[in-house]
Structure 1
Amino acid sequence: MSFRFNFLIDENKNDEPDTQDKTDLQLCTPKRKQESTEKGKQTADPIADSSPGLGTDEQRDKTPSKKTVCVKTAKEHNVPEDLGKILETKFMETASGLYYINSSVVEKKCLDGADEEGIVSKSVSSRSDLISGVYEGGLKIWECTFDLIDYFSEAEIQFTNKTVLDLGCGAGLLGIVALKGKAEKVHFQDYNSTVINEITLPNVVANCIKGGSTMGCGDDKKTSKPPSKRPKKAEHLPDALTRCRFFSGEWSAVTRLLLSSNKPFSKYDVIVTSETIYNPDYYSALHDTLAQLLDENGRVYLASKAHYFGVGGGIPLFEEFVEERNVFRTSIVKTTDKGLQRCIMEMAFKDSS
């Protein structure tokens, strides 16, 4: 089966804001960087060649510096009781045994006025899937997500009775895998509320309804109608959904929301994240988020390209950053050499068991 995940070009580099009151000014922490070409044209097949920031040798040596200030507060999204309404007008596809929303249909709906943030229209007008402080690429599925899903199966990673955070979740497929693996709690975070409402939540609901309490999936047709007829409004949510929480907002803002919430909160046994280390300017924000939210004996599973040409990020540089901080120990548990080299990193606190 072949999958086509489209994305457009953004050659601007994003940097941290000037030092100001961190209560009001959030660091714009983009999840992904798109491929850059000299002419800024759309790349036809990112699965075959999907390296955010790919450019010429001259471009790779230049890293424009801009100070960007954005206000992006954190928000928790409640699961609507009427689950059928979430899946109305949605068109489903499947991959790796998981149901997910066809993003092109969602994008059309957003262009027709269903997008309060305006991220799709701004993405189209700017010819980019990354607009700092506006849209961070969450409507697309990126190939390292499937690398991590495969690794969970190959390494027999256990999620049973664990608390899991899908950080920079986008489609939420990693968190859904954890939910299928009997995780006790799964939290999903994405920068954009539109992504949570139109992509993440529907994906989780679709998998819950189709698979029932076991979160199992049926046949693997590439495209299908929503996974069931419109279900009646239920008095209680499916068990799997009661174990989920959904958040939008910048990493540090979501961290503050979780740690200051009146709702019971325990740190995560597992944090999963894919393609979030392309830009070194945001390593600090990511590192701090992991350090504050991971349980003392927890594990982080991070999937990434080995190198993101043009912006300088990638596995070696992030490893160096983490080593300098002296908080986590890291190990590369899988390397894929097909196409651009991709890696999966495991992280744990240095003093953990």
Structure 2
Amino acid sequence: MDFRFNFVIDEKEDNEPDTHDKLDLKHQEETPAKQKVSFKAAKEHEMPEDLNKILENKAIETVSGLYYINMPLVEISCLDGADREGIVSKSVSSHSDLIPGVYEGGLKIWECTFDLIDYFSEAEIQFTNKTVLDLGCGAGLLGIVALRGEAAKVHFQDYNSTVIEEITLPSLVANCTECSKMGSGDNRKTGTPPSKRPKKVKCLPDALTKCRFFSGEWSEVSQLLLSSNKGFSKYDLILTSETIYNPDYYSALHDTLAQLLDKNGRVYLASKIHYFGVGGGIHLFEKFVEERNVFRSSIVKTIDKGLKRCIMEMVFKDSS
């Protein structure tokens, strides 16, 4: 069966996201450093039955061999009423890409996401038959790479339900429509770009059965998963990018990782050295982890180009 989607492809060169996808330090500096952490209720999102609707009127772009949804067009549609949370209007009125407890940046693809994708290829990280969580997923590119690497299950979490519905789900469907790439490893190795207008989706149902989608604050999502009657099993890999910008969230993030990671699992976390205005950064989080004495952490890669960035690996101290 052919699914025909009403969308536009705008191809980019690999590793060349639009400037709006890169970290905006000006906005970051304007974000209040200290605000009460909100406990946004967790919700599981189902894939809509009408697959044609998911990509309807969406513009699709490519970067690093992956599809993702054009963010500015989504923001425009959200201002026209598609955003029940009102996060776009609040972001515009506050001139900030981050509003603690309201909007946590999921409508942007942050720079370190691509660092982590590069690291997966360089370190030959294996996803085959793994259970994977893309934590703070945004467009879900990390989880999509895991899905292409033949992961057994991939779950996606973002703070905002608008991000899951308007960005994550469409991005996943756009990538799944390229059947020849699904289950065949990371096509970044060959440099082969996706075709401009994928139509055949014969593998889509199988791919989607591996995926679940959640919105809400980390501790709330953890409780939802742990109390699930769907046979939840802990994750072999948790992937997360640019989620440690605010030290106020460190406790919730650490506890979520500790609760959801399998005893022999691994966390791969990408971050900038320091986040101006909010005060977080890799070394501060590294110290926090050390003081909690639950995980062993190590910096497995440092990127010196531009603002210094790092990839951290975390495992339980008593893991084998």
Q: TM-score normalised by the shorter chain: which range applies?
A: 0.7 to 0.9
Aligned to 1:130: 98
Counterpart Cα distance in 2 of 1:125 and 1:73:
24
2:8 matches 1:35: no
In the superposition, relative to structure 1, how do residues 276 and 71 fare at CA in structure 2: closer, same or farther (>3 Å)?
Answer: closer
Aligned to 2:85: 117
Amino acid paired to 1:193: S
2:219 matches 1:252: yes
Aligned pairs for 1:162-311 within 5 A? 162-211=130-179, 214-215=182-183, 220=193, 227-228=198-199, 238-311=205-278
Aligned pairs for 1:133-152 within 5 A? 133-152=101-120
Three-state SS of the structure 1 residue aligned to 2:103 is: coil
Aligned to 1:338: 305
Aligned to 2:18: 4
2:64 matches 1:74: no
Counterpart Cα distance in 2 of 1:141 and 1:69:
23
Three-state SS of the structure 2 residue aligned to 1:6 is: helix
Counterpart Cα distance in 2 of 1:149 and 1:344:
11
Which of 96, 101, 109 is the aligned partner of 2:64? 96
**Shift of residue 284, structure 1, vs aligned partner:** 0.5
Counterpart Cα distance in 1 of 2:212 and 2:158:
12
Residue-by-residue CA offset, 1:217-258 (whole Å, 9 max, x unaligned)? 79537xx976338x7xx9x95211110000000000000000
Residue-by-residue CA offset, 1:288-331 (whole Å, 9 max, x unaligned)? 00000000000000000011233321111111110110000011
Three-state SS of the structure 2 residue aligned to 1:203 is: helix
**Shift of residue 342, structure 1, vs aligned partner:** 0.3
The structure with the larger Rg is: 1
2:52 matches 1:84: yes
Counterpart Cα distance in 2 of 1:298 and 1:7:
30
CA RMSD of aligned residues (A): 2.4
Amino acid paired to 2:53: K
Identity value in percent? 74
Amino acid paired to 2:62: T
- Would you say the 8 A contact 1:167–1:189 is kept in 2? yes
Gaps of at least 5 residues in structure 2 are: 1-12
Counterpart Cα distance in 2 of 1:201 and 1:134:
21
In the superposition, relative to structure 1, how do residues 147 and 213 fare at CA in structure 2: closer, same or farther (>3 Å)?
Answer: closer
In the superposition, relative to structure 1, how do residues 71 and 318 fare at CA in structure 2: closer, same or farther (>3 Å)?
Answer: closer
- Would you say the 8 A contact 1:5–1:141 is kept in 2? no
Counterpart Cα distance in 2 of 1:274 and 1:332:
14
Aligned to 1:326: 293
Counterpart Cα distance in 1 of 2:221 and 2:183:
27
Amino acid paired to 2:100: S
In the superposition, relative to structure 1, how do residues 177 and 64 fare at CA in structure 2: closer, same or farther (>3 Å)?
Answer: closer
Three-state SS of the structure 1 residue aligned to 2:92 is: helix
Gaps of at least 5 residues in structure 1 are: 9-32, 37-41, 43-51, 56-62
Counterpart Cα distance in 2 of 1:5 and 1:269:
33
In the superposition, relative to structure 1, how do residues 270 and 182 fare at CA in structure 2: closer, same or farther (>3 Å)?
Answer: same
Aligned to 1:14: none
- Would you say the 8 A contact 2:33–2:277 is kept in 1? no
Question: Structure 2 length as normaliser, TM-score?
Answer: 0.87
Counterpart Cα distance in 1 of 2:177 and 2:269:
29
Three-state SS of the structure 2 residue aligned to 1:286 is: helix
**Shift of residue 98, structure 1, vs aligned partner:** 0.7
Three-state SS of the structure 2 residue aligned to 1:296 is: strand
Amino acid paired to 1:6: H
Counterpart Cα distance in 2 of 1:192 and 1:65:
20
- Would you say the 8 A contact 1:213–1:238 is kept in 2? no
Task: Using the TM superposition, name which of 105-114 and 282-291 deviates more.
Answer: 105-114
**Shift of residue 211, structure 1, vs aligned partner:** 2.5
Aligned to 1:351: 318
Counterpart Cα distance in 2 of 1:85 and 1:290:
34
**Shift of residue 96, structure 1, vs aligned partner:** 1.2
Question: Structure 1 length as normaliser, TM-score?
Answer: 0.79
In the superposition, relative to structure 1, how do residues 214 and 69 fare at CA in structure 2: closer, same or farther (>3 Å)?
Answer: closer
